[in-house]
Structure 1
């Protein structure tokens, strides 16, 4: 009974903590930026560049869902690309608009375990977890590569690059040793992961263009990638607040325009939120996860 009460208390406390952290983080950002400057940036933004930004983001999410699909096929789930993408959208929606409870990844695990009872919860969890980890690997690799061209952090690149290289070898070794199914098509999946992060940077580049940035884009790419690392930790609602705190810190460290940097982050969040809202129609009908022929599964995997 005590255990159940503890779980109930945590289920109530968790979303409150996320909301509290998000508000606190946004307040800290608010004290560091010029709100009037933010408003001016958005007012003077060129809307014609926002269309390509949205398009690049949508393509990015499609490619990311393909990466996840590879992991599901690795563990033998005969899920179609269409059903997988619908499930992926629902995961986005849960993460952004339902900060408490099971979250987007938890929702995917529950749905797939119900639809495919022949698989284990551990396998499904591993597929979802390593999908996230592959994205984290790609983020770290890009940060390491970009560190070689930024004067203020170039001196650290001789340590960052070897660390990422060694980490990659260890990461692959652990996968092959303990998660052999998951490790299938390692190179292909991680090239896809790298592609998704590059597509995010394409989105950021279009946002920068829309906001009229005339400075070098590279430093903004680096702090955006660093903020993406922060957003992976479930301390705030969909990464809101956590991403902006890192953006402000990074902009201050690299001597960038903090107002522009925060505008990029908030614009990216709005685009993300807009796409997540497209999952609403799926919420009003039963999620279908249709098995496919074994031959098709083998081909797709």
Structure 2
């Protein structure tokens, strides 16, 4: 058995085990009633909200790729981003989607390659890592700030400490980037050449870092607002102050690489946190299910784009073959 297969099976066991435990704790019949009575209008708005948030994330990625030499039009980044989301549905973690983004950005849209960074797998990887880093850093900072500002909510101390530690860790690692850059220079790591060039590109374009942090803040606030919409869909009142807490905490918790796409962790996180504001276990689990359903539905947009792109490319190849055959016959 390969290592990847074993990892997949272990994550599947964790997800299935968590779901079995959670469903054993609730009234499944009541859960079905809660889901069937959800207000579709709020879910539709949440679906559009998530879609718009991913468009903003695509813009963030595009801005981070520009200093590295990528000149693709913005629509390419949107397409690649949504295809990556689609790949995430079938990968045991979000890394699968990131690999897809790297592949498409590095390959580009045409056979012609510009000099320097463009078309480079290494530079595409740097752009995706930077995109991930900034996105998670801002998410952690929002969670930590919300826990400080809205400290009246009763949460176990370990959650606060871990959130503060994560936020501080991102800030500390950001401060260490100049030291890391000097280390790469001094040691002359060949494999770190692209990363070094990326750090230097971002250091000379700091306004892009500020812009991408702002875009991350907007995208995360949209998704925090979606927590309120999902609550209204289930007749649950979630204050803005608590939405700014549960979204970062559940988002960070479900990103742990110990389950399949956060399945089980996400639902357990919502169950624990929504219980703190007296939400029934059935509605809390339904909340997690609906959130995942919205992610899946928006990710399927990437699947449609992926299939259409493959069909178009196949048609272009067939057309080229026919044209070449016709030219040969005429000769």
State the TM-score, normalizing by the size of structure 2: 0.74
* In the alignment, structure 1 residue 213 sits paired with structure 2 residue 233: no
Aligned to 1:241: 264
| Cα distance in 2, alignment partners of residues 82 and 260 from structure 1 | 38
| Cα distance in 1, alignment partners of residues 96 and 166 from structure 2 | 29
Q: Contact 1:233 / 1:239 at 8 angstroms: preserved in 2?
A: yes
Aligned to 1:180: 200
RMSD of the TM alignment (CA)? 3.1
CA deviation vs aligned residue, 1:44-63 (integer Å, no higher than 9, x gap)? 22222222111111111111
Q: Contact 2:57 / 2:219 at 8 angstroms: preserved in 1?
A: yes
- In 2 relative to 1, CA 154–241 (structure 1 residues): closer, same or farther, beyond 3 Å? closer
2:100 to 104, 107, 127: 107
The answer to which of 193-202 and 279-288 deviates more is: 279-288
Aligned length: 281
- In 2 relative to 1, CA 125–287 (structure 1 residues): closer, same or farther, beyond 3 Å? farther
- Structure 1 portions without partners, runs of 5+: 1-7, 289-301
Higher relative contact order (CA 8 A, sep 6+): 1
Q: Contact 1:95 / 1:237 at 8 angstroms: preserved in 2?
A: no
State the TM-score, normalizing by the size of structure 1: 0.80
CA deviation vs aligned residue, 1:159-194 (integer Å, no higher than 9, x gap)? 789867754653433345532324532111111111
Q: CA deviation at 1:74?
A: 2.5
| Cα distance in 2, alignment partners of residues 86 and 37 from structure 1 | 39
Q: Contact 2:144 / 2:164 at 8 angstroms: preserved in 1?
A: no
The 5 A counterparts of 1:5-44 are 9-44=2-37
- Structure 2 portions without partners, runs of 5+: 182-198, 313-331
Which is higher, the Rg of structure 1 or of structure 2?
2
The answer to which of 237-246 and 95-104 deviates more is: 95-104
- In 2 relative to 1, CA 128–216 (structure 1 residues): closer, same or farther, beyond 3 Å? same
Aligned to 2:225: 202
